[in-house]
Chain A
Amino acid sequence: ETGVTQTPRHLVMGMTNKKSLKCEQHLGHNAMYWYKQSAKKPLELMFVYNFKEQTENNSVPSRFSPECPNSSHLFLHLHTLQPEDSALYLCASTPTPRLENTGELFFGEGSRLTVL
């Protein structure tokens, strides 16, 4: 069982829908991340949260709205998406937001989003 759990694993939505992706980590980490993985492109960092505070927004369009109510939970609220937003959205966590030593990111299995 992974220490980082993402739901739903698959989501299909229309461009006018509003949906949310959820991430929960059971590792006691303080930093959480959203990454986007599109076909044939490198993983792209979207948001970083440290102790519930957003510390990085990597020029992400406002139709993606993150929420971090506590250090264990991270949401990505989706509204008015475009077909090009279809991708695998990966959540990750680390003990601190600064990658020291091995700097290993612990990833969830991702939520595969399809926008019609």
Chain B
Amino acid sequence: AQKITQTQPGMFVQEKEAVTLDCTYDTSDQSYGLFWYKQPSSGEMIFLIYQGSYDEQNATEGRYSLNFQKARKSANLVISASQLGDSAMYFCAIHGAGSYQLTFGKGTKLSVIP
């Protein structure tokens, strides 16, 4: 069984500042993948970034980076230079090796302030 914990129901960040969204996970799998998705008010879930459990380097995608600390079982999302369009719900998720099921956290609502 896998579990994702996102302890921040809501976060505020000033435009152009960086923000870190927390995610901790629990899994018994040796091999797994961690994901972050963004969900704007339109409802669509937008894939942001992926980190494999055996990847030695932290994943980066443009302004998004994943701070992966395997020993602490954390996979925090860092958004640099926040933009107003970053205001949305953000979900952390995990899947086990060879599994088709993603387990999601409850999400963090990010609000970017002008």
Chain A interface residues (CB < 8 Å from chain B): 2, 9, 31, 33, 40-43, 45, 48, 55-56, 88, 90, 92, 94, 97-100, 102-110, 112
Whether B103 and A42, one on each chain, are in contact in the complex, defined by CB atoms closer than 8 angstroms, is yes
Q: Are A103 and B42 in contact (CB under 8 A)?
A: no
**Could you tell me if A56 and B101 are in contact, using CB atoms closer than 8 angstroms?**
yes
Chain A: CB-nearest residue to B45: A107
Residues of A contacting B: mostly: loop
Closest to B42 in A: A109
Which A residues lie within 8 Å of B104 (CB)? 42-43
With A42-B106, A43-B91, A99-B33 in contact, do A56 and B100 touch (Cβ < 8 Å)? yes
Name the B residues within 8 Å of A2 (CB-CB).
44
Q: A99-B33, A108-B44 are in contact. Are A48 and B105 (CB under 8 A)?
A: no
Contacts of B100 in A (CB 8 A): 31, 33, 48, 55-56, 94, 97-99
Contact B98 A105 (CB under 8 A): no
B43 interface hit (Cβ, 8 Å): yes
Q: A40-B106, A43-B91, A102-B50 in contact; A107/B101 too (CB < 8 A)?
A: no
Q: Complex formed: what's the CA distance from A112 to B4 in Å? A: 25
What is the distance, in angstroms, from B48's C-beta to the closest C-beta of chain A?
A: 10
Bitwise interface map of B from 38 to 60 toward A, beta carbon under 8 Å scored 1, else 0: 00001111110010000000000
A103 to chain B, nearest CB (A): 5
